[in-house]
Amino acid sequence: MTLQSMSAFNFSRRDIWHRNFKQWRRKCSRPTGRPHLFLVLLLVAVLLYRIGSDSNSEVPVIRNKVSSDSNLRTPRSQKVATSIPQAVVVLLAPQRNANSMWNNVERFCFLRRAVRSIDRHLNAKFGPYPIVILVAKDHDQDPTHQDGAYTARDRALVEEWAIHSTIQWQEIEMYSKDALEPDVSLNQILAWRRGEDGGQEGRPLGYQSMCRLWSGRLQNFDILDGFDMYMRLDDDSLLVSDLDYDPFQRFIDRNLIYAYRRQASDHWGIQELWKVTEPHVLNPTVQKINAATRLEFLQLTSPGSDNDKAEYQYDGKQPYNNFHISRVDFWRSPQWKSVMDDMDKNHLFFKHRVGDANVHAMALLMMGDQLIEQWDDFPYAHNSNDMGGEWGPKEWKEECYGNRKGM
């Protein structure tokens, strides 16, 4: 390399490199005599220049995150996913400072376990599918004062148990603004929650806000744009073993609109719910009801005749929807949005204590002749309702905190 070829390197951005280069050029004025020294000095100059450029660049250097708890996970084998379903897993984070009824374990610890179960049993083998965790941006307005901010440290603790997954934290209103039924004051809602003014006392504001969230509000968030389907899980939910199949691919292959694992029953506000939704559910101009779904969730009170229609009553049977997979587009349809508007106008959630699983029963009835399945084989459990006394032992708390107890 000649001295003229070195002029292609421009170190004028930094005076220090310019001065050093001049010194090196004087020392190497006769490169033919000591070619090796010249090349070494040239490489050193280039290396120092690149280091200086990186340290002063305005573009951040992105590095892979290294977990401090690598023993909790095994590395995933390399796999190129050519075509995976457009699907997402969504969880609502619990109130940050709330304890559970099981052995005084913090709900935050449950959230960590729930996310880890998704990571191990679903994403380590399929997908991977993104996980969206919803947290309250208005946590300071929780009337029970149990909610709080999910700090960067909190989020890191959740993410370190999910090496195969990408987690997005989405802040939403849970106690104010869009979380509430329109055209009604917070004071009125709180009075209803106390059992005043004809309201049904029981669950607090945050719980009823959660019920309204899963009844169509969540499904219309921008975060679901671009996804065909979503899976719901809760912080007190677990995938209990590895999946033998990709649930989203099964959902597509069977051309489903909704899948759940088991049924339950609830009676809170079901008369008011049926009064509001019956005109939508039994309106043949809106949807043709699947006969099997109708018989599954409605009770026939009068078979009808040639002159009058059959009469049905809703008695509270519901999909146990703390796990379900559903298509997004149904919840964004004009038909369902009309139901949502009527539910809000009649204050079903905050006055009458209607639960989201009962609302999902109405949704299933309105899904027409599209396919709905109950997946008894799905390896899932929801708190002590499915696991009994094995749920929430003290060892869970010890594992959650380890050496971090009190942090």
E strands along 251-342, which residues? 256-260, 263-265, 299-302, 311-313, 317-319, 324-327
Is 390 or 204 the better-scoring residue by pLDDT? 204
Q: pTM here? A: 0.78
Mean pLDDT score, 17-30: 50
pLDDT, one tens digit per residue, over 173-193 is 999 999 999 999 999 999 999
pLDDT, average across residues 160-184: 97
- Give the Cα-Cα-Cα angle 120, 207, 192 (nearest 5 degrees): 175
- Asked if pLDDT for residue 252 goes beyond 70, the answer is yes
When mean pLDDT is compared across 10-14, 97-101, 163-167, the lowest value belongs to 10-14
Task: List beta partners, residue 380.
Answer: 239
Q: What is the pLDDT of residues 113-156, one digit of tens each?
A: 999 999 999 999 998 999 999 999 999 999 999 999 999 999 99
| pLDDT for 303 | 80
- Is the omega angle on the peptide bond into residue 128 within 30 degrees of 0, that is, cis? yes
> What does the mean pLDDT of the chain come to?
83
Greater pLDDT, 39 or 78: 39
Tell which phi-psi region holds residue 321, choosing left (phi > 0), alpha (psi between -120 and 50) or beta. Answer: alpha
Contact 205, 189 (CB under 8 A): yes
Q: What pLDDT does 36 receive?
A: 61
The amino acid at residue 41 is L
Residue-wise pLDDT for 50-98, tens only, equals 544 444 333 332 222 323 333 333 333 334 344 789 999 999 999 999 9
Greater pLDDT, 333 or 25: 333
The CA-to-CA distance between both ends of the chain, in Å, stands at 60
Task: Spell out the domains of the chain, with CATH numbers in brackets.
Answer: 5-56 (no CATH), 85-401 (3.90.550.10)
In this predicted structure, what is the pLDDT of residue 313?
A: 92
Which pLDDT score, from 0 to 100, does residue 59 have?
30
Q: Look at 82 and 294; give whichever has higher pLDDT.
A: 294
| Whether residue 27 has pLDDT greater than 80 | no
The per-residue pLDDT for range 268-293, each reduced to its tens digit, is: 999 999 999 999 988 765 556 666 77
Average pLDDT estimate for 159-168 = 97
Checking if the pLDDT of 100 tops 60, the result is: yes
Among left, alpha and beta (phi > 0; psi -120 to 50; other), residue 153 is alpha
Phi first, then psi: give them for residue 188, nearest 5 degrees: -65, -40
- Strand residue runs (E) in 11-143: 87-92, 131-136
CB burial string 286-297: b at 16+ within 10 A, e below:
bbebbeebbebb
Residues 374, 285, 278, 363: is their CA dihedral positive or negative?
Answer: positive
Higher pLDDT pick, 298 / 304? 298
> pLDDT by residue (tens digit) across 206-218?
999 999 999 999 9
Shortest CA distance to 361 belongs to which of 274, 303, 246, 286?
274
Q: What burial letters (b/e) apply to 270-284, b meaning 16+ CB within 10 Å?
A: bebbbebbbebbbee
Whether the pLDDT of residue 406 is over 70: the answer is: no
Q: Are strands 299-302 and 380-382 parallel, antiparallel or unpaired?
A: unpaired
For residues 99 and 404, the model is more confident at: 99
Residue range 103-117: mean pLDDT, rounded: 94
Percent of the chain with pLDDT over 70: 76
| Token pair recorded at residue 122 | 């679903």
pLDDT attached to residue 308: 65
CA-to-CA distance for 99 and 369, rounded, in angstroms?
43
Residue 164 neighbours by CB distance under 10 Å: 19
- Confidence at 39, pLDDT banded by 50, 70, 90: low
